[in-house]
Amino acid sequence: MHNPLKYIAHLPLLAALLAPAAWAAELKLELASGSRSWSTEQLLAHPRARQIEIPADVAYKRDMTYRAVPLAALLDGVQPGDHLQAVALDGFAAELPAAPLLGTQGARAWLAVEDPAQPWPALATGKPSAGPFYLVWQNPEAAQIGPEQWPFQVSTFRLLAPVAKRFPALLPAADANAEVRAGFAVFQKNCLACHRLNGAGDSQFGPDLNIPHNPTEYFAGDFLRRYIRDPQSLRKWPQGRMPGFSREVLSDKELEQLIGYLGHMVGRKGSPK
């Protein structure tokens, strides 16, 4: 017969064995000054860590309180003209100009750190939390920070060359008009974190937007605009992960520029890798 006391006696040992795992999360920084890692424990104890309030948090859709470190305090040697990428555990790869990340006035970037002793809520039923690390913003409207610039479940920040230099297959033609070039900028800010195009990009999250077919080729009429605004309104899918882009995030003008860029790239298809 099983003796439950035998198992209870081992609970303290089990807890001791599991405790270090709670501190196992590490944030990797790959910068010009070199590579280093910060553990959850180190970040929570960082001399500049503090409690911050984030109203209307992007991931949780409500007001949240976090223990966080100013991201600028971790970006040793990074200059305002530099370009960084935040990589999440699920393959999401947010492209981030450095200037807003380094700002101390207006919009301010913070690295929220999940305390294993006070875990954050799940993002949805059956989903994990936004931890272990989450880039959040105070006053994001001051720098037109969009939802794609709030990466959660972050594992790495790396200093990289700008997108146009890394991925020439994304570039519009040299004679493309100003609206198409503006659409390329909108694409970088809002789409590249999840999608590749012509096989180019670092994200492992969403489908390629030009190979084998560009969405402007198979969305008729106004359906592509409607899909970008509210994906679930066209194709109800419980597992769908694409967010809708409201007019506050993506203006009507920016939406037209984005669609113009995508349509332009139909004539510039690359070869799938």
Q: Which residues contact 190 (CB under 8 A, 6 or more apart)?
A: 146, 148, 245, 249, 250, 258
- The confidence score (pLDDT) of residue 201 equals 84
The pLDDT of residue 245 is: 82
Residue-level pLDDT at 45: 96
Bond into 132 cis (ω within 30): yes
List residues bridging with 97 in a β-sheet: 83
Helices (H), the chain: 4-9, 11-18, 40-44, 98-102, 163-166, 178-190, 215-218, 223-229, 231-234, 252-265
CB atoms under 10 Å from CB of 33, counted, come to 12
In the chain, CATH 2.60.40.420 covers 164-268
For domain 164-268, the CATH class is mainly beta
Q: Nearest-CA neighbor of 81 among 167, 191, 160?
A: 160
Span(s) in the chain for CATH 3.90.420.10: 24-160
User: 3-state DSSP helix/strand/coil percent for the chain, to nearest 5?
Assistant: 35, 20, 45
| Residues in the chain, pLDDT under 50 | 1-23
Q: How far apart are CA 225 and CA 221, in angstroms?
A: 9
Written as six digits, the tokens of 80 are 């305002």
- pLDDT, tens digit (0-9, with 9 covering 90-100), for 29-70: 999 989 999 999 999 999 999 999 999 999 999 999 999 999
For 24-160, CATH gives 3.90.420.10
